[in-house]
Structure 1
Amino acid sequence: MNINTFTKAKNVYKRLEEETPLSEKSLIKNGIKCENPKKKEPRAENSTVNDLNRGRVAIFIDGVNLFHAALQLGIEIDYLKLLCRLTAGSRLLRAFFYTTVDISRQTHTRPRPNEKQQGFLFWMRRNGYRVVTKEVQIADNSKKPNLNVEIAVDMITLTPYYDTAVLVSGDGDLTYAVDAVTSKGAKVEVVSLRTMTSDSLIDVADSFVDIDSIKHHIQKDSHSSYNYRALSNSNL
């Protein structure tokens, strides 16, 4: 069954290429603007999601889930492109990025073993994301760590303030939270790699986008002018 062609009354399986192109306006406080791809991607006439009916958008990204999806696709995510693509010209309320921080290898000689990751998270905070972290000791924990509780609480708590939630995760444990959000009248778009996405999550969402169908628009270019260098003297 082709996931991009199968449709049903409640859910709409679509490719993000069919959505409304981005508008030429700044989405981030520091003046970074999203590129308008109108010349390269003409809007499909049967588009079901656009900036006119999405209203105010809130983005919730499961960083660990997205990392493994990118790993399977063999790409590195450009988080500026991703933010612009997910916002798609709509009014952005807030973009959350959830991730774990491994502290299991911390020693006296290496009190900060994750400086590169901390540099990345600092960059994310400066470029439009609200970063939520959880310290974990992966080496001593057989259970896969995640931030599903944090994601669920934020999605439900902020429901009165947004019209559309964009959930970048395929974790089926978030199904109940998505169902709760939609029951309050908000829309939920799930964005994830299809092979990593729970059917139950797709069933309760209003629409689903396979990351594989948009990978060429969100991957980092080899000549990108920014990087996530480690921080040497940081208070993070």
Structure 2
Amino acid sequence: MFYKDERLALFIDGSNLYATAKALGFDIDYKLLRQEFMRRGKLLRAFYYTALVESEEYSPIRPLVDWLHYNGFAMVTKPAKEYTDSQGRRKVKGNMDIELAVDAMELAPRMDHMVLFSGDGDFKPLVESLQRQGVRVSVVSTIRSQPPMIADDLRRQADNFIDLDDLKEVIGRPPREPQGQATREVPASGSGE
């Protein structure tokens, strides 16, 4: 699936990867994740996309964002949008699909292999476009959760599908018990459809 001389880039949809790992019952060790893909090829860049809730005094995702930023990940963040739904419940939404797609298209001429950590079917046209430009695309998600976290059409479009569950022994750690507040990612508008 991977060639040692390939220039590869990781594109991590933070909320989608968080939900996928949670569905499989483990946490991601991002240091091990980065090391694993450095071993598989020439890692150009590891992008991590997440929306941040600006109004909260303490954002549970902030320590992760800071750690990733200082440890070799290119962080792409934006403020999450807060709204009240029709039942009067406070909701938070932060979709980073466009930012991820733009970065992937800009890097396409300089990468041989994209590794997309997301099961969101909205990325199918991006995968098709990158493939037309000669970029191989691997998608990391899971079919082993109920329901599966990857859209079937995205899985079929990818050159390679890597089930996150198969990486568990290499990049995983047992989930930590939350201290005070549960760590959560800001949900994107779609998890896998």
TM-score tier by shorter-chain length is: 0.7 to 0.9
Q: Distance in 2 between matches of 1:88 and 1:153?
A: 26
Residue 199 of structure 1 is aligned with which of 152, 156, 162? Answer: 152
User: Structure 2 vs 1, CA of residues 216 and 155 (structure 1 numbering), >3 Å: closer, same or farther?
Assistant: same
Q: Distance in 2 between matches of 1:201 and 1:191?
A: 11
Residue 210 of structure 1 is aligned with which of 119, 140, 163? Answer: 163
Structure whose residues are more often strand by fraction: 2
Aligned to 1:97: 48
Q: Distance in 2 between matches of 1:50 and 1:187?
A: 10
User: Structure 2 vs 1, CA of residues 207 and 218 (structure 1 numbering), >3 Å: closer, same or farther?
Assistant: same
User: Structure 2 vs 1, CA of residues 222 and 175 (structure 1 numbering), >3 Å: closer, same or farther?
Assistant: closer
Aligned to 1:77: 28
1:122 is displaced (CA, Å) by 1.2
Pick 1 or 2: higher relative contact order, CA cutoff 8 A, min separation 6: 2
> In the TM superposition, what whole-angstrom CA distance separates every residue of 1:152-176 from its partner, at most 9, and x where no partner exists?
1111111001100000000000100
1:140 is displaced (CA, Å) by 3.5
Aligned to 1:189: 138
CA RMSD of aligned residues (A): 2.1
Kindly indicate whether residue 62 of structure 2 is the aligned counterpart of residue 118 of structure 1: yes
For structure 1, the residue ranges without an aligned partner over 5 or more in a row are 1-48, 107-111, 224-236
Kindly indicate whether residue 25 of structure 2 is the aligned counterpart of residue 51 of structure 1: no
1:86 is displaced (CA, Å) by 3.0
SS of equivalent residue, structure 1 residue 95: strand
1:144 is displaced (CA, Å) by 4.6
Identity, in percent, stands at 36
SS of equivalent residue, structure 1 residue 188: strand
User: Structure 2 vs 1, CA of residues 186 and 220 (structure 1 numbering), >3 Å: closer, same or farther?
Assistant: same
TM-score normalised over the length of structure 2: 0.79
The residue type equivalent to 2:3 in the other structure is D
TM-score normalised over the length of structure 1: 0.65
8 Å CA contact 2:26–2:175 kept in 1: the answer is: no
Q: Distance in 2 between matches of 1:50 and 1:64?
A: 25
Q: Distance in 1 between matches of 2:66 and 2:21?
A: 21
